[in-house]
């Protein structure tokens, strides 16, 4: 049972463009939504995270948009660069000590 649905599976963006990756969830108990970035041959690393008390969080070129009523959240990468080429995972979990549930990942390629 997939609790977090992520799309698209792969994405190709021109350098300088905006990359958008979407995730949807069903479990209303989820209240922590991180994004992880993974480069080839490496483990994932936390990129940015949001809680439902805000609708948007920005860190540099990376922004999470959160829509609680629609149970959706998305990652926007502004001014995408070739160095952003990686696999991105959204995740979610309820408050407390329950492990994260990950989406299936999006492979982003930024081409010059």
Q: Which residues bind other proteins (CB under 8 A)?
A: 6, 9, 32, 34, 36, 41-46, 89, 93, 95-105
| Max Cα–Cα distance, the chain, nearest Å | 43
- Residue 19, SS3 per DSSP: strand
- In angstroms, give the least distance from the CB of 96 to other proteins: 6
- In angstroms, give the least distance from the CB of 48 to other proteins: 11
Instruction: Give 85 or 87: the residue with its C-beta nearer to other proteins.
Output: 87
Q: How far is 80 from 95, CA to CA, in rounded Å?
A: 32
- In angstroms, give the least distance from the CB of 14 to other proteins: 25
Q: How far is 56 from 52, CA to CA, in rounded Å?
A: 9
């Amino acid at each position: 049972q997939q609790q977090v649905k992520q799309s698209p599976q792969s994405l190709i963006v021109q350098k300088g463009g905006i990359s958008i990756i979407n995730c949807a969830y069903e479990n209303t108990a989820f209240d922590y939504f991180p994004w992880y970035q993974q480069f080839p041959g490496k483990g994932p690393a936390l990129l940015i995270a949001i809680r439902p008390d805000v609708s948007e969080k920005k860190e540099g070129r990376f922004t999470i948009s959160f829509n609680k009523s629609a149970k959706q959240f998305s990652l926007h990468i502004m001014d995408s660069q070739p160095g952003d080429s990686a696999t991105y995972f959204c995740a979610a979990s309820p408050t407390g000590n329950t492990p994260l549930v990950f989406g299936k990942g999006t492979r982003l390629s930024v081409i010059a």
